[in-house]
Every structure is written in structure tokens, then in C-alpha cells.
Chain A
Amino acid sequence: MKLGSVKYLVGEGVKNTWVNRLMSLASVGVLVACMVVIGLALLISENVAKAIGALEQQNVVMVYMEDYNWALYSDKTDTSSDAAVSENGEEADANGIKSSDYTIHNDEEAKALCDKIAKLDNVASVTYVSSDEGLASVKESMLEGQEEYFDFLDEEYGNPMSCAAKVTMKDMSLFSETIDKIEQMEGVDVIQSQDDLAEKITAVKNGIYVAGIWIIAILMIIALVIVSNTIRVTMYNRKLEISIMKAVGATDSFIRIPFIVEGMLIGVISALIAEGLLYFCYRVATETIISTLGTTDIVKYGDMAWILLLVFLAIGIFAGIIGSVIIISKYLRKEGSEFAAI
């Protein structure tokens, strides 16, 4: 195909969009409406995802280790036994604890365990919490008066807190799997977690995902149907043009190009309008939300602008092309009626 011909056909497509501007406008209106709703769905789900992300960050898991303090308070260790020397000749200390009674003997071993946990795929971060730090933070979270109990324990028997690893995860849907893996590690005592929160987060995320797909699919179908209908309405002029093009020997691809260009142009114009409209609506909405709720933790439009524009262009161009292809194919295939009735 020659460049001059392509230029002419593209020009025809652009001209037709203008000549049929009433119908073009109707198509643009429908497409923009669909795009704005799809864009809103995306922005809302992005905001929900952000809020969930914040929740996930808070969903820390404490992995307590079998260290000296654990042995001190553990039922498994027989501190009442008088046997000062074990069978292998190991000596117990003043508290009656032998070095074989516990797994994590020092900070190095504790940190090694932390590193081992950190190597799991789903683990986002691991922070080592020494028993002293653990005790301090427990006391801090205690109610007035109750912290004295811990002071008493600390002074009388020694620090009741084992050292621990503070673990956060990447994907909450793999929560229990990951917990299982950590539990099987040597030196891990108990894991404190809120696994129901993890389940809820996963359920909400899946719900949003499924709903989003449905919304987008339904709107895409609506957009397609309405765009093809709009093009169908202008078909009287189109049939005339197609019949002349066929009569003078234009090939099917030549006949299609102006229509496809027209569909694409309508799609692109719609995408640009939708982007601008959504930007305006989102700004007004977020400003209201910020001033009434006081939250500032909201997704910025700027962060989503490119993705939204790309999505809109994709939807617009897809709907435009498919819409016009469906329509013209109907007239191209029809044999025997091209010159008769138009």
C-alpha cells in the first residue's frame, strides 16, 4: 500500500469523524462514561489496596525462641530435679539449667535464626528483638500497676521474655504456610500472630479483585455494544460509500481503513476526555475526603495518571476498532446487495 493512499484513507477517517460528528459525539459520550467508571473502580481498588497494605504492615508476627529465659520458665525443663550433673557429665548452673536444655545460647545463634527466617520467600522483614528489649516493650504496653509483676519476675527469677524475631510478610494469603515453615525451624518456641486478620485481609483483597474484573468486563461489553450501535446508525451514508468503493474495485482492507481510523480516533478522544474528567472528579472527591476525614493517606492521581491513560487508550482503541470492524464486516461479506438496495 502506498504512503499517499494511507494518508488519504487516514484523512478520510478523520474527516468522517467530523462529518458524522453527532454520532461521533454520542459514541464519545458512552465511551467516556464507561471509562470514568472503570477509572473510578481502579482508583477505589488502589486506595483499598493501599489501606490494606498499611494493615499488612501492622500485622507483625512474633517468633519467640528457645533461649535461656525460655528454659528458665519452661515446664519441659526439670528445674526441680536435684541432679546437678547429667548423664553426659554436663553441669547445671545455679538455676539448674544445662546448656542442652535450650537451643539458642547467644545473640549470634539468635541472629542466625533470624537470617534463616528472612530467607523464606514470603518474609518481608525480620527484626531481632533481644529479651531485654522484649521486656521493655512488654512493660511499656502494660497497664499501670501490672508492669510491677514483670519487675517482680525479673528480679526474682530472671527475665521472663525470650528473645524473638519480629517478622512481617509479603503476601497474607500465604500466611499459615509461612508460619508452618517457621514453626518447624530448630530453636523456635511459639509464634504469636493474628491469623484471623490475615484471613480477612486476603478475603477482602480477593473480593475487590473479582468485583473489579466483573465491573470492567461488563462495562467493556456495554461500551462495545453501544459503539457498534452508534456506528450502525450512521450506516446509511456508510453503505453508500462502501457500495461505491466496492464498485470501483477497492479492496476490503482499503474499505476498512477509514472506518477503523474513525473508530480509533473516537477511542483516543474519549480516553483524553475521560482522563481529564476523572482527574477533576478525583481531585474534588479527595479534597472533600481529606477535609472531612482528616486522612491524607490517599492515592495521588499523579501516581495513577499514566496507567489510567493507558487503560483508557486501550479500551477506547479496542472498542473503536472492534466496533467498526464488526459493522463493516457485515457489509463487506454481503454479496449480491452491494449495488441493489442501499
Chain B
Amino acid sequence: MEQLLNSSEQFFQVEKPIIEFRGVSKTYPSGTHALEDVNIKINNGEFVFVVGSSGAGKSTFMKLIMREEKANTGKIIVNGFELTSMKRRDVPMLRRTMGIVFQDFRLIPTMNVFDNVAFAMHVVGASGRNVRREVSRALSKVGLGNKARSMPAQLSGGEQQRVGLARALVNSPDLIIADEPTGNVDPNMSYEIVSMLTEINKLGTTVLMVTHDHNLVRDFQHRVIMLDGGKIVADNAGGDIG
């Protein structure tokens, strides 16, 4: 019932996809065909799990979206940017529309929690007063308002990833990209992190998350894209996975 509501909501609200792949192939210089003829549309406001066995091409799929890798053929459109013809110097503008969460957290060990999150704002030119307000807001969203002065090493893995999540959120992105964000986090914390991502998604942010954890996929009812051998083998957009 809830799902029906969800899909009808999408049907009426969103015509324009935030991510679109048209006939995309990616072959690494080593000769590995990581992705072959991928066609997909992800609409604004969706929450998508990307699943598949190791080496299926999940990370490559994510890297193409953030324009860390370039496709060999096909067309990729993200947030209105045409990535295949995009110039290197325009990449920062694309990145500012997305928040990236890393599997290994990537917190700067010499900075406290607050400064780690503030760093993401400062380096894109945000002003001091905005930074203080937005960082506080992001930290309370992930439930770490009271840990602002802690150093990363003093936090658990789950807490560190929540700092990483706060940093991804702080510039108010349209899209969150997370490649196995729960890979280094214990199961309880994984649930908490995906719950937070779900909350963020409910406020309108599109979330794209790679995971190996079948329990998460089963318990959080979201769209699931399954990759195998560089191809999309299943996609439950608007329905159930086969």
C-alpha cells in the first residue's frame, strides 16, 4: 500500500530524471569491460540501492555519475550536466550538486568533527557565518550535535560514518552518492545510517547507495538496481525485483 502511494507520487511529481544513462559502456585502459550498454533513468527524489556481486561494475557506475571516470561510449546526464562532453574545469560545479559518502569515511585525522564538516563548505567558498549554522544543522541531523569537538579517532566506526554523512549533506546537495557506506560499519550502525539516508531522502534528496547487505535491501523498501558482468540484470523501478 505504501509502495503504491510512493510510485504514484513519483508518477505525478517527477518527469525529469536526475540521472540518465543512454547506451553507456566503460572499458578501462587495462581492457576490462566494466559496463556494457547501460540504459537507465533515476528520477529526482528516488532512493536507489545498487547491488551485485563483486566486480559487477557497481563502483564504476557510481564513478561515472560523479565524473571520476569518463564513459567510452554513450551519454550520461546528471543534474542537467552532460558528463561525456564536460570539460575538466567544469567538474567542480557538478560535484557541488552532489554529496559523496566514502566507504572508508575519509575524515581528516588532525581536524575535529566540526572542522571536518566545515572543511567541505570552506573549500567551495562558503562564508564563516553560514558555515557555523549549516555545520551545526548537519551534525544535529546525523545525531552528533554533542560530538562537534571530538577528534575522529575518538569515535566509533558508525559515528565516523555519520560525520561523513554530515559532510556530504552540509552543502545541501540534490543527490547523495554512497559506495558501500556501511562496508566498515557494524550491522546495528548500518541500519541507523540507512535510516538517516531514508529520512534525508524523504526531504527530497535523491540517494544512490551501493550495498552488499541483503538485509538492508530487504528491510528498507527502495528501488533496487542489480548489476552483473557490467549489465543491468534487474531493476524494480515501480515494481518488485524478479
Chain A positions near chain B (C-beta within 8 angstroms): 1-2, 4-5, 8-9, 12, 19, 237, 240-241, 243-252, 254-255, 335-336, 338-340, 342
Contacts and interface: CB of A to CB of B under 8 A. Distances in A.
A9 B69 CA distance: 28
Interface in B91-106: 91-96, 99-100, 102, 106
B122 interface: yes
A9 B122 CA distance: 8
A57 B207 CA distance: 84
B69 A245 contact: no
Interface stretch (B15-23, B124-132, B191-199): B124-132
A244 B110 contact: no
A255 B123 contact: yes
Contacts of B179: 339
Contacts of B125: 1-2, 5, 254
Contact of B68 (A5, A245, A254, A336): A336
Contact of A335 (B70, B106, B126, B167): B70
Interface string B70-113: 10000000000000000011011111100110100010111000
Nearest to B104: A342
Interface string B54-71: 000000000100101110
A12 to B, nearest CB: 8
Nearest to B118: A8
Which one of B93, B108, B125, B127 has the greatest number of beta carbons of chain A within 10 Å?
Answer: B125
B127 A248 contact: no
Nearest to B92: A249
Contacts of B94: 249
B205 interface: no
Interface residues of B, number: 32
Given A241-B108, A248-B124, 11 more contacts: A5-B122, A5-B127, A240-B106, A247-B102, A248-B167, A250-B92, A250-B124, A251-B92, A338-B68, A339-B102, A339-B179
B100 A247 contact: yes
A280 to B, nearest CB: 35
A254 B110 CA distance: 20
A339 B122 contact: no
B63 A336 contact: yes
A245 B123 contact: yes
Given A241-B108, A338-B68, A249 B95 contact: yes
Nearest to A241: B108
Interface string B115-140: 00001101111111000000000000
A111 to B, nearest CB: 74
Given A248-B120, A249-B92, A335-B70, A4 B63 contact: no
6 contacts: A2-B127, A5-B125, A19-B110, A245-B123, A248-B95, A251-B89
B184 to A, nearest CB: 15
Contact of A339 (B63, B93, B108): B63
B44 interface: no
B93 A4 contact: no
B123 A254 contact: yes
A5 B121 CA distance: 10
Which one of A2, A5, A8 has the greatest number of beta carbons of chain B within 10 Å?
Answer: A8
B46 to A, nearest CB: 22
A8 B124 CA distance: 11
A250 B102 contact: no
**Which 5 residue pairs are nearest across A and B when measured between Cβ atoms?**
A249-B95, A249-B96, A250-B123, A249-B92, A248-B120
Contacts of B96: 248-249
Contact of B124 (A237, A249, A336): A249
A339 B122 CA distance: 20
Given A240-B106, A250-B124, A339 B119 contact: no
